[in-house]
């Protein structure tokens, strides 16, 4: 009120002074010609009251150029969807901040509910959706939605394969609370073993051999990346194939029950329950007259004797004393040891075979001149005579 009364008095005095026209004319002329004349600043009273201006000298400290030095953003360098904030008091066209509206762009790589375990992708920005905003090129991306559209699976049935289930190691929760999974994995109840690495590698086959007894005994189910799930294709009692058996011991052969199948590589495999010395090997090759043996390749060997017929000269009166075994002759056994093998239980067995042509054609004192009719033994191989020898003179 005091300010108003003072202003009113000042204005009234000025009006009264202007009524003296002659005086004012002379006074005006004298003021114009005086170099020291100064015009008072006109101030609108509400501004004066609000800004508390005074009539002191203006040193330029309130100029917009000085006050707005840090207000570097305008509508020209803050493109949508970014928004301006923090205006300069001296210039309403300049702003201190250009940023994303946090009320609208509320999701980023940290706030979007995403969980993953290696080897899954770690870049969560790909889960953001809707409208996007980024304060600058190096700042974190924000978005209006947390969209899990890259996560295709919601239930085991959605995997589309009865042998697979959702992989809970990588999932995303959408805005509505629905949890979605990035991948499916092989059901561990069906494929209990896993291997991390190359499918066609010896390291994988070594792991199969450890779990299933034989490196070829496997079926696979491919998980994500290089993670392989597998199971034994057949009963682990079927441990041996021909190659692995011979590699263990060159004298061994596969045997017992066997089974055929296609393994995880698509190869036709035959596995056996046994790998040991061949079943054709015997405890010895000293079989008595008429004994049966098995030679190489499983051929049947039989030792036989021809009755004495030569009654002339040196052999006259020779009695038929029989034959205790096939070694009971002078010039070597008709059936002999060809190979030996040490079985898994430590016992030694032998493979027998006929000893060539024997000595049927031997012309000496034991066979005399009765070469064609001497007492002798012979060897039949699968029923065919292949070797023979003179008997010992007992």
In the chain (394 residues long), the average pLDDT of successive 10-residue segments reads: 43 41 38 42 42 42 72 91 92 92 87 70 71 88 84 93 92 82 93 92 95 96 86 96 94 95 96 95 76 84 64 38 41 75 95 69 40 61 79 43
Predicted local confidence at residue 137, as pLDDT? 82
pLDDT at 383: 86
Q: What is the reported pLDDT for 65?
A: 66
Quick one: pLDDT at residue 386? 82
- The encoded tokens of residue 347 equal 């016992």
What is the CA angle 230-240-243, rounded to 5? Answer: 105
Is pTM beyond 0.75? Reply is: no
Q: How many CA atoms lie within 13 A of 391 on its CB side?
A: 26
Q: How remote is the C-alpha of 219 from its chain's centroid?
A: 16
Cross-strand partners of 57? none
Going by C-alpha positions, the residue among 302, 280, 282 that lies closest to residue 381 is 302
Q: How far apart are CA 219 and CA 216, in angstroms?
A: 9
Phi, psi dihedral angles at 332 (to 5 degrees) = 105, 160
Closest residue by Cα to residue 128 from 112, 152, 104, 110: 112
What gap in Å lies between CA 68 and CA 78, rounded to an integer? 17
What would the two tokens of residue 53 be?
């201006």
pLDDT of residue 83: 93
Look-up of token digits 């203006």: 58
pLDDT for res 285? 84
pLDDT at 220: 94
Give phi and psi for 291, each to the nearest 5: -70, 150
What are 8's strand-pairing partners?
none
For 127, the token pair is 């889960």
- Nearest 5°: phi and psi at 8? -60, -45
- Residue 14 has a pLDDT of 39
pLDDT for 171: 87
Spatial distance between the Cα atoms of 360 and 358, rounded to a whole number of angstroms: 6
CA atoms of 183 and 78, how far apart (whole Å): 40
Q: What six digits make up the tokens of 107?
A: 């999701």
In angstroms, the CA 68 to CA 389 distance is 126
């Amino acid at each position: 009120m005091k300010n108003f009364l003072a202003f009113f008095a000042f204005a009234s005095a000025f009006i009264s002074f202007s009524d003296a026209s002659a005086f004012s004319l002379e006074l005006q002329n004298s003021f114009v010609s005086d170099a020291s004349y100064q015009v008072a600043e006109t101030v609108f009273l509400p501004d004066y009251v609000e800004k508390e201006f005074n009539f002191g000298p203006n040193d330029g400290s309130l100029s917009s150029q000085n006050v707005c030095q840090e207000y570097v953003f305008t509508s020209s360098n803050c493109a949508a969807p970014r928004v301006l904030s923090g205006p300069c008091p001296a210039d309403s066209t300049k702003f201190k901040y250009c940023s994303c509206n946090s009320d609208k762009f509320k999701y980023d790589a940290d706030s979007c509910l995403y969980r993953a375990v290696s080897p899954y992708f770690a870049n969560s920005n790909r889960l953001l959706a809707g409208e996007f905003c980024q304060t600058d090129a190096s700042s974190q991306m924000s978005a209006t939605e947390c969209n899990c559209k890259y996560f295709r699976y919601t239930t085991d049935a959605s995997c589309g394969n009865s042998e697979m289930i959702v992989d809970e190691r990588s999932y995303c929760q959408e805005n509505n609370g629905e949890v979605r999974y990035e991948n499916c994995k092989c059901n561990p109840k069906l494929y209990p073993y896993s291997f991390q690495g190359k499918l066609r590698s010896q390291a994988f086959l070594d792991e199969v051999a450890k779990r299933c007894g034989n490196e070829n005994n496997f079926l696979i189910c491919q998980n994500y990346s290089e993670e392989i799930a597998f199971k034994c294709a057949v009963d682990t009692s079927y441990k041996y194939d021909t190659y692995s058996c011979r590699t263990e011991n060159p004298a061994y052969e596969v045997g017992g029950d066997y089974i055929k199948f296609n393994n995880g590589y698509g190869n036709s495999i035959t596995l056996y329950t046994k790998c040991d010395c061949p079943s054709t090997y015997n405890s010895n090759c000293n079989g008595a007259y008429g004994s049966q043996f098995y030679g190489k390749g499983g051929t049947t060997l039989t030792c036989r004797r021809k009755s004495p017929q030569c009654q002339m000269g040196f052999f006259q009166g020779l009695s038929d004393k029989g034959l205790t075994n096939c070694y009971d002759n002078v010039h070597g056994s008709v059936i002999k040891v060809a190979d030996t093998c040490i079985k898994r239980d430590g016992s030694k067995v032998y493979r027998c075979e006929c000893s060539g042509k024997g000595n049927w054609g031997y012309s000496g004192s034991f066979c005399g001149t009765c070469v064609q009719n001497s007492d002798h033994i012979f060897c039949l191989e699968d029923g065919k005579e292949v070797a023979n020898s003179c008997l010992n003179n007992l």
